[in-house]
Structure 1
Amino acid sequence: MVEQPQNVKQEPSVWEPPMWREQLKNIYSMRKFRNAAVDSMGCDVISDTLASPEVYRYQVLLSLMLSSQTKDQITSAAMEKLREHGCSIDNILQTSDKVLGELIYPVGFWKKKVEYIKRTSKILQEEYNGDIPDTVEKLCKLPGVGPKMAYLVMKCAWNQIVGIGVDTHVHRISNRLGWVKKPTKQPEDTRKELQDWLPREYWRDIDELLVGFGQQTCLPVGPKCYECLNKEICPVGKSNKKMPSSKKTKKEEMKEETE
């Protein structure tokens, strides 16, 4: 039998950020009240839980399609109008593009989303018997649906955790904390990196946890590092602990409007 060499440091089989457990624990502490916009206006909250399972799943899908480049408050208002109008596949298909546009305005790119919603609804009616696809691959084939939406649909509509939904908040925070081996440019790259090392037990909660953290503390512009529990163990926080000026440029305000 060959003996193992003594005093040889064993390298971890999977790369992981050195401080991630402490950083995550701090984020849980900062999010303990769950009072961010995403907590009261997430896709599962603004969809009708009293509707049939098929209609509820359809509304979850639509709410995520509307949410792209749109603040939660605006998405929630649009979904409320859609639900009052009648947010089922049959009813949406019978609604004119003009009326549908008026219902979802002013979500970002609302004209394009009218087209996506109509095309998607037609596909669901003809190919899925009035329900939505139950795999990421099939969901991503629908007009206007990308990986982030698909993974969130799987979680919120089908109660299946098959991946992490990475939006701009999760993408930004993961890069700031050093939760990726090297800086990533696209949310999809960040998702793959996170899924490589983050234990699956955290996958269900991580997107909502970080989105709320990004809405309240780790802002896209002017992050509140001075009040963040991670300021001493975050690469960005270490050099950004002073309270900034409250005055924002027009460019900064516009950036916040889309995140």
Structure 2
Amino acid sequence: MTSPYFMQSRSVVTRSGGQHAASSLRSKLTNRRRNEEPVSSVAVEEEEEEKIGGSHPKTETLPLSSHSRRKRQLKVEYDQEEGATKVETEQGDPPDWKKHLRYIREMRSSRDAPVDNMGAEKCYDSEAPARVRRFQVLVSLMLSSQTKDQVTAAVMQKLRAHGCTVENVLATDDEALGRLIYPVGFWRTKVKYLKRTSAMLQKEFSGDIPDSVEGLVSLPGVGPKMAHLAMDIAWDQVSGIGVDTHVHRISNRLGWLKKPTKNPEQTRKALEEWLPRELWSEINWLLVGFGQQVCLPVSPLCSVCLNQLSCPSAHMISPTKRPKAGSPRSPNPTASLPIKTEPEHGFADEPERTKKELLPTLVSSTAPRRGIKGKVNH
């Protein structure tokens, strides 16, 4: 074996040279000492290391014992691998987050998740006055808690046909409003929230929704996630990261947080400490669709995820084998799998629901940038 990293400390005999090279060198040095002035043992030692070591890495000399040189210890030194590049990251940033984000963008390039076609950005009436559009954005966000996007979109269509305005909601009795928003999750509780919120908007905000996070979270049934998303969609202002159950779950699975978080609000604060502000609006859209298609709450499809080699949670809770084509768990757009809905903002007084969610298709290898999101005009 030939390696420049295995050397003795004093005579520095390389393994490739063997004892023959060492004996030859000692003979030459002995002849030189006869013709030159005596030098110190330290100088001879440094000269020997310089001649034999050449361009090899320098090693620190170890103290010698009075015993034979054969018992001297070797110091192993490793050089950095050729071609290895140092990853430049800010202090405290997750080491692989840029690669994770690039791959998630690639997997989301087809833009065919439920959130892409039925999210809060798609549920308002674009022909309605600006004040009404903003109210409809807030209502769709309130209804979306613990509810699939497909159900929320269908309910918003019924509400818009009925007249989704502050005045109409207040004029509709609780029973009729409940029939309109059924079957969203916790619809009875949301009827009360819609009525109380509409009353506050009419009395304190002139029928419009607040234009600040503080004002929005003061409304009944509106949490930080809804407030930040409403600011982004309705007012075109990025005030923070909208963290729902998908963003909360995936951020923890990818190791994007210094320590695991227990709820979406903790996750939001942890992400905002390091994630660049220009990504705050995009990250919700990316991770929600990614969580709906690939990084599922139960049995995530790690086998089709591009981050499976760098994700610290990959294959820990997914099937051991890739499902066969045509099976209920295969990545087929027509296949369905019962998915347990995770709690989002906490209506803990009612049980969680189990519904069916579409499984993802294999994504394109190209990743076009996300287009400009449809905003609500003032």
**TM-score, normalised to structure 2's length?**
0.62
Q: Whole-Å Cα distance in 1 between the matches of residues 123 and 281 of structure 2?
A: 19
Task: Quote how far apart the aligned CAs of 1:247 are.
Answer: 6.4
In structure 2, what is the equivalent of residue 55 of structure 1? 132
Match of 2:332 in 1: none
Q: Deviations over 1:136-182 (max 9, x none)?
A: 11111100000000000000000000100000000000000001011
Letter in 2 for 1:254: K
Cα distance in 2 for residues equivalent to 1:41 and 1:221 = 22
Q: Larger C-alpha radius of gyration, 1 or 2?
A: 2
Alignment of 1:243 onto 2:351: no
Alignment of 1:18-57 (within 5 A): 18-57=95-134
AA aligned opposite 2:249? R
Match of 2:341 among 250, 255, 259: 255
In 2, the alpha carbon distance for the partners of 1:81 and 1:42 equals: 16
Q: Is the 8 A contact 2:298 2:340 kept in 1?
A: no
> Equivalent residue for 2:20?
none
Q: Distance in 2 between matches of 1:70 and 1:14?
A: 38
1:85 maps to which residue?
162
- How many Å separate the matches in 1 of 2:296 and 2:339? 11
Give the gaps of 5 or more residues in structure 2.
Answer: 1-87, 330-337, 343-353, 358-378
Distance 1:167 1:83, change over 3 A: same
Q: Distance in 1 between matches of 2:240 and 2:322?
A: 36
- One-letter identity of the residue aligned with 1:232: L
Q: 1:231 aligns with which of 301, 308, 326?
A: 308
Greater relative contact order (CA < 8 Å, ≥ 6 in sequence): 1
In structure 1, distance between residues paired with 2:198 and 2:100: 41
Instruction: For residue 15 of structure 1, report the CA deviation from its aligned partner.
Output: 1.2
Q: Offset of 1:13 from its aligned partner?
A: 6.3
Deviations 1:210-237 (A, max 9, x none): 0000000000001000000000000111
- Matches of 1:45 and 1:255 in 2, distance apart? 22
The aligned length equals: 247
CA distance in 1, matches of 2:128, 2:117: 19
Question: What's the counterpart of residue 8 of structure 1?
Answer: none
Q: 1:106 aligns with which of 183, 186, 189?
A: 183
Residue 213 in structure 1 maps to residue 290 in structure 2: yes
TM-score (norm 1): 0.90
SS in 2 for 1:120: helix
Q: CA deviation at 1:201?
A: 1.2
What is the SS of the residue equivalent to 2:289? Answer: helix
Q: Name the CA shift for 1:225/1:58 in 2 (closer, same or farther; >3 Å).
A: same
**CA gap 1:125/1:208 in 2 versus in 1, 3 angstroms:** same
Unaligned runs of 5+ in 1: 1-10
C-alpha displacement of 1:204: 1.2
- Identity among equivalent positions (%) equals 59
Q: Which residue of 2 aligns with 1:5?
A: none
- Deviating more after overlay: 14-23 vs 57-66: 14-23
Counterparts of 1:48 and 1:179 in 2: how far apart (Å)? 37
Q: Structure 1 counterpart of 2:129, which letter?
A: S
Instruction: Point out the structure with the larger strand share.
Output: 2
Q: Is the 8 A contact 1:20 1:179 kept in 2?
A: yes
Aligned-residue offset at 1:184: 0.6
Residue of 207, 211, 222 corresponding to 2:299:
222
Alignment of 1:48-197 (within 5 A): 48-197=125-274
State the partner residue of 1:6.
none
CA distance in structure 2 between the aligned counterparts of 1:98 and 1:45, rounded to whole angstroms:
27
- Give, as a single letter, the amino acid of the residue that structure 1 aligns with 2:286: L
Q: 1:203 pairs with 255, 280, 285, which one?
A: 280
Higher helix share: 1
The answer as to whether partners of 2:170 and 2:198 remain within 8 angstroms in 1 is: yes
Hey, what's the Cα distance between the residues in 1 that align with 2:284 and 2:110?
Answer: 16
Asked whether the 8 Å contact 1:225–1:242 carries over to 2, the reply is no
Q: Distance in 1 between matches of 2:269 and 2:120?
A: 23
Offset, 1:59 = 0.3
Name the residue aligned to 2:76: none
Quote the offset at 1:253 in angstroms.
3.5
Q: Kindly tell me: are residues 12 and 77 of structure 1, through their superposed partners in 2, closer, same or farther at Cα, counting changes over 3 Å?
A: closer
Indicate how the Cα distance of structure 1 residues 253 and 31 shifts in structure 2: closer, same or farther if over 3 A, else same: closer
Alignment partner of 1:237: what SS? coil
